[in-house]
Amino acid sequence: MSDTASRPVQFTEDRIPREGIEETVSDLIELYGGELAASKENERRFTLPLRRGIAAAGGVECTVSWAPGEAGDAVVTLVCNRDVDAPKAQRIALLVAGVVGSLLFMIWPFFPHSRELGALSWIGGIIALAVYFMTLRKTSGGIAYDFLQRLAKTQRSRATAIES
């Protein structure tokens, strides 16, 4: 196992509306299939499953805390006990499959009587395209970063709905 998996990970988001944040955190923990472990003023400790909604896949312990900021906003910090990003070996395997697929797709026309190579090259070309589109997307920070971003988005949308 890599050394980064045992180090705590911390994400911070500022300018999040403070009103109703406790309810939003509780709703998101329930949405992700997590369990609330402890609840203090301006802090919640909980466990999120590594795979959303599937507790059998293991879990990551998180602590979300918020401190008052400016003008009714808060600075929210999420600390996890380990890195929960997607496995890098799977990404590398997909990239290798994409490269092999694109090479097969490029050399296939030079073998006119080989039907098997043609089908294989089309499949390889599709894999290469899929890998290309996957690399266009920004890499995620895992379920913990997704949790924090969803918390911020929900709180900001609630604040704009109240103002409207």
Q: Where are the domains of the chain?
A: 3-84+140-163, 88-136
SS3 112: coil
Fold classification of 3-84+140-163 is: Alpha-D-Glucose-1,6-Bisphosphate; Chain A, domain 4 (3.30.530)
Q: Cα angle vertex 82, ends 16, 96, to 5°?
A: 105
Cα 14 off chain centre by: 19
pLDDT of residue 142: 76
- Low-confidence residues of the chain: pLDDT under 50: 1-2, 4
- Predicted TM-score (pTM) above 0.75: no
DSSP string, 39-56: EETTEEEEEEEEETTEEE
pLDDT of residue 1: 43
